Amino acid sequence: MSEKLVEIDGGMMEGGGQILRNALAFSALLKKPIRIFNIRAGRSTPGLRPQHLSGVNVVRDITNGRLIGAEVGSTEITFYPGDITGGKYIADPGTAGSIMLLFQVSFPCAVFADKPTEFCFRGGTNADMAPQIDETLMVFKPIVEPFGVKFSCEIKKRGYYPKGGGEAIFKIEPCHSTLQPIEILEPGNVVGIDGRSFVAGVLPIKVAHGMADAACRSLRSTFRNININVERVKEPAHLAVGNGSGIALVAKTETGCLIGGAALGKRGVAAEEVGEKAAKQLVDAVMSGACIDTFTQDQLVIFMALAKGKSQVRISSPTLHTKTAIFVAELMTDTRHRRGTEKCRTSLTINCIKHKYREIHKIS
């Protein structure tokens, strides 16, 4: 392991938790110790919150690493990673913090563990400012699997703001090899749209119907003669904590692309407005000519950087989160990215120049 600390300003670019998560994952995978300062400087409450601290501690545990300065409110941490070791791990921030953000920081590490890994994450399954667990399973999972990664998820209990209380079990198989590059460049025509509209707690099923019906009306105005199937669900009381609602949609194209759109219900916001918001996200992404939506593109960058060879994905335009992910990848690795524009569409190319699995993991 290199003893030279990589210094990272957590207030750069989007200035939130993504810099922290991506930098920690790369640190663990490349065995590069890091010092991150100005953590979440771009947020109204800077520093580590309970959810971020839980994620940091999971990476420490799975790598048998050493952390300095990690506590709620910390704006600076130093991390010395050790060997990535599979097994069973638990993370519970004790809040409604997003389970999916815990997954984001730990999943890349587990892919390169020495044996299968099982994470038990607790908190919010469907939280604001984070991917819904439904989006991850419907959209992200099938897109990321061609890299050569495999994981499963069992949702034990749904959890919503402000109580949290959700629980999900993730099982990740180690790849035991290099990740394979991907190429997703042809969007194709939409051939079908699926979705899930849900309510929990005291909210009646008619709210789920309201979101789903509004989304379907909005989608049919753009996608005529396309099969649209949105499941409407009232979560059983024993399988959900708190009151919550939301909708997740995924469009499937003739070339195999999966493009998502999602929205969460909020107090004072009509169910119809929530459904229309999710539908608009999906329509905007499809009409942009992209092969993936804006909320998936930044999640792929770390895997594109770790794959052996050149990966290419057609996107609409890089979001600030995507630019941040690229910034961290280039800082921590020997990867380079290139943007190529064609007919107002952007091709995000990430070429892993010197990355070698054997160098990182010392596999004989």
- Binding-site residue numbers for ATP are 104, 295-299
Q: Comparing C-alpha atoms, which of 208, 212, 223 is closest to residue 286?
A: 223
Distance from C-alpha of 32 to C-alpha of 333, rounded to nearest angstrom: 10
User: Which residues are catalytically annotated?
Assistant: 321
| Burial group, residue 88, by CB count within 10 angstroms (0-12, 13-18, 19+) | exposed
Left if phi > 0, otherwise alpha if psi is -120 to 50, otherwise beta: which for 90? Answer: beta
Helix locations, 186-319, DSSP H: 205-220, 271-287, 294-306
Residues in CB range of 248: below 8 A, 6 or more apart: 132, 134, 135, 138, 195, 196, 260, 261, 262, 278
Residues composing the chain:
364
Residue 130 host element (H or E): none
Amino acid at 233: V
Distance from C-alpha of 162 to C-alpha of 214, rounded to nearest angstrom: 26
Residues in CB range of 311: below 8 A, 6 or more apart: 181, 182, 183, 300, 303, 304, 349, 350, 351, 352
Q: At what angle do helices 320-332 and 17-30 cross, to 10 degrees?
A: 30
Instruction: For residue 86, give both structure tokens.
Output: 């599979």
Distance from C-alpha of 207 to C-alpha of 59, rounded to nearest angstrom: 39
Q: Alpha-carbon torsion 41, 43, 44, 50, what sign?
A: negative
Amino acid at 125: T
Residue 111 host element (H or E): helix 99-111
Q: Comparing C-alpha atoms, which of 236, 163, 243, 227 is closest to residue 195?
A: 227
Distance from C-alpha of 89 to C-alpha of 25, rounded to nearest angstrom: 16
